[in-house]
């Protein structure tokens, strides 16, 4: 009798263990692992939280009001019973932005001057190459003279007496200081470093959002210098009104592009203060205020129908897309979701996603949830998007 009881208990334990194993394998483990410890959401996000076999129970620590902010917790449970994680939340009633989609012209000024190439100098000893500088280096100082533009270097060497100089540069994010001997150009009769340099770049981008105070985010990825393939370090920048004048249609194996131009270099409409992995950030003095939408938290974004706002001709319009896949991310990334263009009008005009559309805001359930960042070169109808949370954090 006792042996039979032991066998029955063993059987029950085995079945229970198998059920737990099966249940555990049905949980989105990566999603759970990447849930943040703290997140800011809007009231509308609460009803959008969704993940396979998970329940999100919202426990607000103070009386809720649709017109006010609140703090509390989201208790994440498996199968409505097993507690997995408690996420601290701040619920904001006014977590809104003006949606973007408009093209802007950008003029970015470097923090120092960037080395983009090297050349030969005719010295008294013969032809010599550049001094100890590499492509991508940023000259910050010569001796005690701060360098912000090429003219600063030219002005320094007009007074130079041929002695060794001390260079302070930024190389791969690290500050280096070393002495070197400038080269005397026998043809132009002046001292030189023997390098090609630049202090600014220009280009077009798409606005992702504008906050109530005019702060904006654009592109969703960094501006990269075409000569060095490195992120362009900025000291300052200006924003100008721009327009799209043509489209190079994308096709498999070759990314397309929007062709645009600045409307005027005389009228600056804003400033840029940062160029980083997640986009261009600054402040606009003049911007459209016709469409304000709530921000959708990254926890609320899910596969399904969505829209983008973009300008691919003369008008800023909404286009249909589908969010194919979302990534649960605890750390910032510019590849948060995979999207697919489904709008026949956009496919006819551009073939899908093209260069210049980066930054186009992604809308889902009436909220701004992200922005386009990349196109799949082998399939221009698909690409990546970044969660707006990651851009707003900047």
Active-site residue, 358 included = yes
Active-site residue, 288 included = no
Catalytic member of 42, 110, 130, 221: 221
In sequence order, the β-bridge partners of residue 28 are none
Distances (CA, A) of 83 to 18, 48, 79, 219: 20, 20, 9, 39
Q: How far is CA 233 from the centre of its chain?
A: 15
* Helix/strand/coil (H/E/C) assignment for every residue in the chain: CHHHHHHHHHHHHHHHHHHHHHHHHCCCHHHHHCCCCEEEEEHHHHCCCCCCCEEEEEEECCCCCCCCCEEEEEEEEECCCEEEEEEEEEEECCCEEEECCCEEEEEEEEEEEEEEEECCEEECCEEECCCCCCCCCEEEEECCEECCCHHHHHHHHHCCCCCCEEEEEEECCEEEEEEECCEEECCCCEEECCEEEEEEEEEEEEEEEECCCCEEEECCCCCECCCCCCECCEEEEEEEEEEEEEEECCECCECCEEEEEECCCCCEEEEEEEEECCEEEEEECCCCCCCEEEECCCCCCCCEEEEEEEECCCCEEEEEEEEEEECCCCCCCCCCEEEEECCHHHHHHHCCCCECCCCCEEEECCEEEEEEEEEECCEEEEEEEEEHHHHHCC
Catalytic member of 358, 360, 374, 389: 358
Catalytic member of 274, 320, 343, 365: 343
Active-site residue, 343 included = yes
Active site residues: 221, 343, 358
């Amino acid at each position: 009798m006792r042996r039979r009881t032991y066998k029955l208990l063993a059987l029950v334990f085995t079945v229970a263990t198998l059920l737990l194993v099966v249940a555990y394998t049905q949980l989105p483990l990566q999603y759970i692992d990447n849930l943040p410890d703290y997140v800011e959401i809007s009231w509308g996000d609460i009803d959008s939280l969704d993940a396979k076999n998970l329940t999100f129970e919202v426990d607000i620590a103070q009386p809720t009001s649709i017109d006010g902010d609140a703090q509390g917790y989201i208790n994440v449970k498996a199968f409505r019973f097993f507690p997995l994680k408690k996420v601290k939340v701040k619920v904001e009633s006014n977590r809104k932005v003006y949606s973007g989609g408009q093209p802007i012209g950008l003029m970015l000024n470097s923090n120092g001057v960037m080395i983009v190439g090297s050349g030969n100098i005719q010295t008294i000893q013969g032809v010599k190459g550049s001094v100890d500088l590499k492509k991508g280096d940023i000259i910050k100082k010569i001796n005690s003279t701060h360098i912000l533009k090429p003219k600063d270097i030219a002005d320094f060497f007009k007074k130079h007496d041929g002695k060794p100089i001390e260079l302070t540069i930024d190389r791969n994010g690290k500050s280096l200081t070393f002495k070197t001997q400038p080269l005397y150009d026998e043809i132009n009769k002046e001292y030189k470093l023997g390098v090609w340099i630049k202090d600014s770049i220009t280009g077009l981008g798409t606005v992702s959002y504008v906050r109530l105070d005019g702060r904006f985010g654009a592109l969703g990825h960094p501006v990269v210098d075409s000569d060095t393939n490195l992120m362009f370090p900025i000291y300052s920048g200006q924003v100008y009104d721009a327009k799209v004048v043509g489209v190079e249609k994308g096709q498999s194996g070759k990314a397309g592009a929007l062709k645009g131009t600045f409307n005027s270099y005389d009228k600056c409409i804003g400033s840029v203060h940062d160029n980083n992995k997640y986009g261009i950030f600054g402040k606009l003095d003049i911007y459209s205020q016709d469409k304000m939408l709530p921000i959708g938290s990254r926890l609320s974004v899910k596969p399904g129908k969505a829209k983008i706002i973009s300008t691919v001709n003369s008008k800023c319009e909404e286009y249909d897309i589908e969010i194919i896949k979302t990534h649960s991310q605890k750390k910032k990334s510019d590849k948060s979701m995979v999207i697919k263009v489904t709008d026949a009008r956009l496919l006819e005009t551009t073939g899908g996603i093209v260069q210049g559309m980066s930054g186009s805001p992604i809308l889902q359930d009436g909220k701004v949830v992200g922005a386009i960042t990349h196109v799949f070169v082998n399939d221009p109808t698909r690409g990546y998007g970044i969660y707006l949370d990651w851009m707003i954090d900047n």
